[in-house]
Amino acid sequence: MAKEIWKPGNMLYPLPAVLVTTRSAEGKDNICTVAWTGTICSDPVMLSISLRESRLSYTYLMETGVFAVNLTTEALVRATDFCGVRSGRDLDKFEAMHLTKRPAEKIDCCVIEESPVSIECRVTETKKLGSHTIFMAEVVSVTADDLYIDENGRFRLDKAQPIVYSHGAYCPVGKPVGRFGFSVRKSKKGKNRR
C-alpha cells in the first residue's frame, strides 16, 4: 500500500459538530456551530472551543466569558449547518431554526432545549493561536435529556442519533464496535473477550 505525503492540514476527523450558545453583555443570545472543540481535562472538568475573531460569538464570549455547548443530532442537522453559515448579526438563529431557548442552570446564558445534552462552561483562559482563538473553559453544569436515560440509569446518547463533522459532511455516528477496556477484560473462563 502506497502513502501520499500532504502539506500540514487539519486531518483529525471526525469531530463533534456542536451548537454553541452565547449571550452578549446586553442580553442578546446567539448560536454558532463549532467543530473545533474537545475535552482538555477531567479534573477539573474542562473543554475548549476555538473561534475566529470575526464570529459574533467571539465578541459575546470576550464580553461575558460564558458559553454552552449543545450536542447535535440528526434531527438538528439543518440547524447545525445553518448556524455555521449565517451570522447572528443578520437574524435571530433561534427564531429562524425554530429552536427553543431554556435558561442555563449556572451561567447567564441559554441552552437549546432540543439538544440531548447541554454543557455549561465558564472561560478560564483564552489564547490567540493564529486564525482561531482557543477558549479553555471549566464545565460548571451538564443537563441531559431524560428521554435518553435507560432503565439502568445509563445515558444513551446513541439513541439521540448524534452527528459528527468529517471533511465538510455531517455524518451519523455508527454502532459501537467495542467498549472501554474490552481488549484487556477477562471473561469468566479467563480468556480475553473479543
C-alpha cell at 179: 467498549
- Contact criterion met (CB below 8 Å) for 126 and 119: no
* Residue 74 burial (C-beta neighbours within 10 Å; 0-12, 13-18, 19+): middle
Which of 130, 133, 108, 132 minimizes the C-alpha distance to 121? 108
Residue at 177: amino acid letter: V
Below-70 pLDDT ranges, the chain = 188-194
C-alpha to C-alpha distance for 50 and 53, rounded to whole angstroms: 10
- Contact criterion met (CB below 8 Å) for 53 and 61: no
Assigned fold of 15-172: Pnp Oxidase; Chain A (2.30.110)
Total-model pTM? 0.91
- Contact criterion met (CB below 8 Å) for 102 and 113: yes
Which of 176, 104, 113, 101 minimizes the C-alpha distance to 146? 113
pLDDT digits (tens, 9 = 90+) for 102-134: 999 999 999 999 999 999 999 999 999 999 999
Residue partners of 51: CB distance under 8 A and separation at least 6: 32, 34, 36, 57, 58, 61, 132, 133, 135
Using DSSP's 3-state secondary structure scheme, residue 141 falls into strand
| Confidence (pLDDT) at 79 | 98
C-alpha to C-alpha distance for 33 and 17, rounded to whole angstroms: 7
The domain limits of the chain are 15-172
| Confidence (pLDDT) at 191 | 54
C-alpha to C-alpha distance for 138 and 125, rounded to whole angstroms: 10
C-alpha to C-alpha distance for 75 and 77, rounded to whole angstroms: 6
pLDDT digits (tens, 9 = 90+) for 18-35: 999 999 999 999 999 999
Q: For residue 1, count other CB atoms closer than 10 A to its CB.
A: 2
